Amino acid sequence: MNKQLLVLAMSAVFSLTLTACGGGSSSNGGGTDTGGGTTGGTDGGTDGGTDGSTDGDGSTDGASGDGGTSVGNPDITPGPSGGGAPTGDTVAGNYVGDFGNGAGVYVVNGDNRLFGLALNDDGSATSLFGDLGSDTTFSGSLRQQTHDASRPATAGVFGAGRSDFEEAGPFSLNIVPGQTIESSAAPVVGLRFAAAGSGEITPATAASVGGATWTAVNQFCPSETGDFCKLVTEVTFSGASITGETYTENNAGEQRFFNPIDGTLVEYGDVLLISFNWGTAGVNLNRYDGIAFFTTDGTDRLVFLGETEAEWEPSLAPDGVGNPTIASLLSRP
């Protein structure tokens, strides 16, 4: 997923309509999208083309593309915040219920930072982020992302996220530590505390997610002609470590635009707090913090969700925006 959003002139949009989701070439290796999303990025070669068009909906394709394999960066140190099982004595903890977007799982970590995601009936997902503070009331807005379903939805799972946040709220919340988070005014919120071992969430532990490579595929444009329209996410958990990568793939199985994932996890009740570097050093590398949890539908699928608070490097993202989130619905063999 490329963290660059190019300024789109009308002439560029026009030219893109000829090559959207295609295998065309470009002298600088960087593609553009069709109206608000990010693109296939710079592959450091001569055939980057327009690999990541999203037909104008603003969703992203998830790849940068110099093919780098190292995410080493002394300024980015992954480390989850708030390890251990939340006791319910503070705002921090794991919750299930509806935050205005349908049934989901929502986690408040040890820094009172909220991460959550609801699966939608159409195959898309909605994620939510923000700081709830340590008080038992909260008034304000949160950050929201829409993750589009594959095109068609039967071709995979939801995508990694759009190029910018939407505002969710404002909310007026009352929090009973260890019990509920509920709204006192619209929009309606109803969450209940999910104590470890309560059965509300299938326990995601280092042991239960380890020993296999988890994979997700999102077809981010409706290609039937072999274009590079699939974003593949692969993640392996081993003890407290997370490794993996994202890349784009065409219908023939050819791959490009690799971006490594490298981070750590800590158990937090029945979910995992995760922190990882995603991207390629010198191009689009940032730290993401978030959660991993099993869906509540009993399908043994794992949500992998992260948000970055990084300031975008102007030289790499001229408009000051990029890909603030990554989200995948992973399955294992």
Q: How far apart are CA 254 and CA 159, in angstroms?
A: 19
- Name the percent of the chain lying above pLDDT 70: 71
Question: DSSP code of 279?
Answer: S
10 Å Cβ neighbour count for 54? Answer: 26
Number of H helices, E strands in the chain: 2, 16
What is the model's pLDDT at position 282? 80
Residue 232 has pLDDT above 70, yes or no: yes
Q: What is the DSSP string of 237-248?
A: EETTEEEEEEEE
Contacts (Cβ under 8 Å, ≥6 apart) of 172: 137, 138, 139, 183, 184, 185
R_g over Cα of the chain: 19
- Name the percent of the chain lying above pLDDT 90: 56
Mean pLDDT of the chain: 76
Q: Tens digits of per-residue pLDDT, 239-251?
A: 999 999 999 999 9
Q: How far apart are CA 144 and CA 165, in angstroms?
A: 6
Report residue 145 as tokens.
């992302």
- Which strand (E) or helix (H) includes residue 13? helix 10-16
What is the model's pLDDT at position 82? 52
b/e sequence 128-144, b meaning 16+ C-beta within 10 Å: bbbebeeeeebeeebbb
What is the model's pLDDT at position 89? 80
pLDDT, mean of residues 208-235: 92
Least confident of 16-30, 201-215, 216-230: 16-30
| 3-state SS, residue 209 | helix
Residue 94 has pLDDT above 80, yes or no: yes
Which amino acid type is present at position 304?
F
Output 289 or 52, whichever has higher pLDDT.
Answer: 289
Output 203 or 73, whichever has higher pLDDT.
Answer: 203
Q: How far apart are CA 102 and CA 47, in angstroms?
A: 42
Nearest partner of 265 among 107, 78, 92, judged by Cα: 78
Nearest partner of 284 among 61, 23, 57, 8, judged by Cα: 61
Question: In this structure, what are the phi and psi dihedrals at residue 203, rounded to the nearest 5 degrees?
Answer: -60, 125
For the sheet with 255-268, list strands across it.
213-219, 230-238, 241-249, 255-268, 271-278, 286-294, 302-307, 325-330
Q: Tens digits of per-residue pLDDT, 120-170?
A: 999 999 999 999 998 999 999 999 999 999 999 999 999 998 888 999 999
pLDDT, mean of residues 310-329: 62
Report residue 268 as tokens.
């937090």
Report residue 89 as tokens.
């004595």
What is the model's pLDDT at position 58? 33
Maximum pairwise Cα distance, the chain: 58
What is the model's pLDDT at position 224? 77
Report residue 138 as tokens.
């909260």
Residue 27 has pLDDT above 80, yes or no: no
Q: How far apart are CA 193 and CA 105, in angstroms?
A: 10
